[in-house]
Structure 1
Amino acid sequence: MAHHRRSHLLLVMAIIAGLSIGVAGCRGPQSGGLTVAGSTSVQPLVEHLAERYMAEHHGEVVNVQGSGSTAGIRAAVSGAAAIGMASRELEPTERDLHRFLIAQDAIAVIVHPANPVKALRREQLRDIYARRIRDWQQLGGNPGTINFITREEGSGTRGAFQEIVMGDAEISADGIVQDSTGTVRAIVAGDRNAIGYISLGMVTPEVATISLDEVVPTHDAVISGQYPLTRPFLLVTSGEPGPRERAFMDYLHQPACQAIIEEEGYVPSAAESRS
């Protein structure tokens, strides 16, 4: 009798275990988290907001990965990421994507704090990156070859810089190409002859900003439209966002998140989307 009881008990336990495995399997995709990938300029801001979101929504996991704007858009299209991050406007071939604006950002031109050059005109900046101006002495600075840092092809930051500053001129192949905002900042911070461009929200005391066309990159200058080097911070999905994606993106427009966006040095925007 005891043997039969043990057999029945083992059978019940096996059934329960099987059901548990089945339920866990069904939960797999949900528990895998929401993957957000793309622009390394947008990444730190979204990471900050995602941490707050997860703290307030227990059980939700948001994985934020930096890979560049174009890579993020492609990840959203292919399904490798639920949401893409971009720090540039969508190209005509990308207009079928769902666009969600979270902030406006300025691209700050940065130099080493010891560099006496604190102001440039847009054409001077263009000539630096086209390699027509090669020495700081040509700009009223100390003698020294200008080491200019640029972002990689596909970067939203580079795309905005190319459009607004370079126009039809090409960025010289002599530039030092980096694939993230952080590395551009680190190189400029360690080289008195370097110049680069990064998100205004990522500027720290280890680098100095330069005024462009007599306008200093500030929050107020971005809001007023006076500062010329601005671009959007976007989240994109392939088609209409699903419930989880929509919940996260809508969360970013709550007043508390808008306040964080402003505290981080960006210009928060009202809800705007285009599908």
Structure 2
Amino acid sequence: MQRTRFLVLLSAALLTLITPFSSGAVGLSAPTDGTPALRIQGSNTIGAQLGPALVMGLLSQQGAQGITQQPGLRANEMHIVGRLPSGQSASVDVAAHGSSTGFAALKAGQADLAASSRPIKHNEISELMELGDLRSHDAEQVIAIDGVAVIVHPANPVRELSIDQLAKVFSGEIHDWEALGGIGGAIHLYARDQQSGTYDTFNELVLTKSGKKLASEAKRFESSEALSDDVSHDRRGIGFIGLPYVRQARAVAVIDGQSKPMLPTLGLIATEDYPLSRRLYFYLPPDSKQPWAKALVRFAQSPQGQSIVAQNGFVAQTVQAVKVRATSEMPTEYQNLTREAERLSVNFRFAQGSATLDTKARLDVKRVVDYLKTHDKLNQKVTLVGFGDAKSDPARAQLLSKLRAMAVRRELLKSDVILRDVRGFGDEMPVAANDADEGRIKNRRVEVWVE
């Protein structure tokens, strides 16, 4: 109930920010030969409801009437049709069979836009190089933040699990609930199918990280809804799913290394601190001349698009200030900050092995600046707080964490933001284990605090 109320309030807040967006000023036309105006393939997490909702939002923005969804020839496929002001009928095809199928469709010329619930892989970048660099700023578009929730039956007494325990459970090494503090009985495993970005994310962040593979007895699903519903009816079941699909099941808190137990809450997912948080992407070939694909990407990043993201149960990238409660585990200086200021719902992170802001952070700079302008906080109201991964020399970790905050400071200065302070806390308060690249990247972050 609390989460639903938060989403409603967030959507209402976003709607108050809506202004005409540039993509709406350009009237799009439909092909005259009856072919789809746009073809999207890839992630089921996106394609099941978020992708179609964004398409319908774009059609509505273009003045289309009579917008309808029609089933495709196969499960998890649909046609979205609307009549433009010109009288033309515009249709968009969406096929949601897993993230990897989106990149394969781009390569085969069968899609204009790939939807993915994981970053593009190195081999996919190489295979699609003829379309341009799909990791470039223009090509890789983060449209929402999601969390992979680990779900159990509502009556299951187990409340939290570590990444290590999850790896042992889903590989079949731990096979009885009693070993996890639950009621004795065989553990039943539920997992997304091999094509799913949700599976790729869980496999990378949990199984591969621990050198394990998914147990062969796990029941596999193409449909997120079906997986969640089955777990909610199985007292011995456990599965993993995208945040909007928890439905009637219950999520457990996840621990990564020395991090505190974290539930997949909106705040922890927005900042990407939750161990199994992830980004949802549209990949648009940088040399694409497809006007509908470009318009949909722009629409997804607009206030209207991000409102639709929130309405569909994902976490929008709209910046908000959140009050943080001080705890004894926090450094004293950090505790003082929580009493004096509020934290913005965004973390700046960096490209792997680089001091350069990643593709999401580049857009987040603009979002933060817009927030500061709107709330009259451009002049000495902002404190940047840097964190890093553990080093053999704590002083070096502290220095590097402050240098990361200084890198964000340089970007904000370009928009005339005058900071109050820049601090570095080294390897304090980790949000992920430091024994793998993924964890170290998550720990190298910069928080924004405003008075």
Under TM normalisation by the shorter chain, which class is it?
A: 0.7 to 0.9
Can you list the C-alpha shifts for 1:205-244, whole angstroms capped at 9, x where unaligned? x110110011111110112333110221111234423222
Give distance in 2, aligned partners of 1:74 and 1:266: 26
Shift of 1:266: 2.3
Q: Give 1:46's aligned residue.
A: 51
Q: Does 1:141 align with 2:174?
A: no
Instruction: Summarize the alignment of residues 1-275 of structure 1 with structure 2, pairs less than 5 Å apart.
Output: 27-28=32-33, 31-43=35-47, 44-57=49-62, 58=64, 59=84, 60-95=90-125, 96-97=133-134, 98-166=139-207, 167=209, 168-204=211-247, 206-213=248-255, 214-241=261-288, 242-269=290-317, 272=359
Shift of 1:138: 1.3
Shift of 1:256: 1.8
Task: Name the % identity.
Answer: 29
Shift of 1:105: 1.0
Q: Give 1:19's aligned residue.
A: none
Query: Residues 80, 203 of structure 1: CA spacing in aligned structure 2 closer, same or farther, 3 A cutoff?
Result: same
Shift of 1:263: 3.5
Bigger helix share: 1
The TM-score with structure 2 as length reference comes to 0.52
Q: Give 1:10's aligned residue.
A: none
Give distance in 2, aligned partners of 1:191 and 1:50: 35
The TM-score with structure 1 as length reference comes to 0.83
**Letter aligned with residue 226 of structure 1:** D
Give distance in 2, aligned partners of 1:179 and 1:36: 17
Deviates more, 1:194-203 or 1:236-245: 236-245
| SS of alignment partner, residue 267 of structure 1 | coil
Aligned residues: CA RMSD: 2.1
Asked if 2 retains the 8 angstrom alpha-carbon contact of 1:38 and 1:71, the reply is yes
Can you list the C-alpha shifts for 1:167-221, whole angstroms capped at 9, x where unaligned? 12111112111122122112112211111111112222x1101100111111101
Can you list the C-alpha shifts for 1:68-105, whole angstroms capped at 9, x where unaligned? 00011111221212111110011112233332210121
Shift of 1:32: 2.4
Shift of 1:54: 1.8
Asked if 2 retains the 8 angstrom alpha-carbon contact of 1:76 and 1:237, the reply is no
Deviates more, 1:259-268 or 1:103-112: 259-268
Give distance in 1, aligned partners of 2:61 and 2:271: 34
Give distance in 2, aligned partners of 1:236 and 1:53: 17
Can you list the C-alpha shifts for 1:117-154, whole angstroms capped at 9, x where unaligned? 12111111111011111111111111211001112223
**Letter aligned with residue 272 of structure 2:** G
Give distance in 1, aligned partners of 2:286 and 2:268: 34
Give distance in 1, aligned partners of 2:110 and 2:271: 38
Give distance in 1, aligned partners of 2:145 and 2:273: 13
Give distance in 1, aligned partners of 2:292 and 2:304: 20
Q: Which has the higher contact order (CA 8 A, sep 6+)?
A: 1
Give distance in 1, aligned partners of 2:36 and 2:168: 48
Unaligned runs of 5+ in 1: 1-25
Give distance in 2, aligned partners of 1:173 and 1:233: 28
Give distance in 2, aligned partners of 1:237 and 1:56: 21
**Letter aligned with residue 210 of structure 1:** V
| SS of alignment partner, residue 282 of structure 2 | strand
Shift of 1:272: 4.8
Asked if 1 retains the 8 angstrom alpha-carbon contact of 2:97 and 2:195, the reply is no
Extract structure 1 runs of 4+ deviating beyond 4 A.
Answer: 270-274
Asked if 2 retains the 8 angstrom alpha-carbon contact of 1:76 and 1:236, the reply is no
